Amino acid sequence: MTEDELLLREAETIVTAIGRMFPGLCEVVLHDLRNPEHAIRAIENNLSGRSVGDPATELGVARIQDPHYPNIIQNYAGTFPDGRPTKSTSIGIRNSKGDYVGAVCLNLDVSLFATVARSLHNLVRTDEQEQSFTESLRARTTGELRAMVEDYAARRGHTPRSLDSAEKKKLVRLLRDEGFLDVKNAVRTLTDILGVSRATVYNYVK
């Protein structure tokens, strides 16, 4: 077995262990940078929908092209394909020649923590009246829509996807009344956040 293959095999074991330690929270991916067109060698706790054999990311390509690229890129922001925010770290793997042969990438789903943070804020808040949503003359954004959905769920001790159908219907109608459904890509964003189909969202509106 070559040195490069041994390094990647050991890294694969580490990827499996880390991913299984944080189920549902942190995606861990091993990239084989010797084969950028089919770089993903292992993926544990898959949150991005990628598969083994998929190509390298932009960061992976940058490592391949630049031998002086930093070994560790830590705590940078990103997003999953469905729009959920991530906090990511990428760790390069070099062989004895100093060449990058692989990379281990960790992608933490921080959207779950946003919900928890809102729940804790509501728990410790004192002497405040429940505030209705304030009127604004500026255009709504999908970021504000996502924040409103997470806040609505947190106030009820849930994540957006764990709300029951009655609460989801009530939420969608509230969003409609507040003008959020007029935002570009609002329905698609809601299907991702709530885990329902487009048809279900339209049915809730009726």
The Cα–Cα gap between 62 and 70 comes to 10
| Confidence tier at 116 by pLDDT (50, 70, 90) | confident
Distance CA(160)–CA(158), nearest Å, equals 6
Residue 87 has, within 13 A of its CA and on its CB side, a CA count of 9
The mean of the pLDDT values for the chain is 86
* 26, pLDDT greater than 80: yes
- Residue pLDDT, tens place only, 150-192: 888 888 878 888 889 999 999 999 888 888 888 888 888 888 8
Distance (Å, rounded) from C-alpha 144 to C-alpha 147? Answer: 5
pLDDT at 133 (0 to 100)? 44
Sheet of strand 40-44, all strands in order from the earlier edge strand to the far edge: 40-44, 26-32, 100-109, 85-94, 72-79
CB atoms within 10 A of CB 157: 11
Contact (Cβ atoms closer than 8 angstroms) between residue 152 and residue 184: no
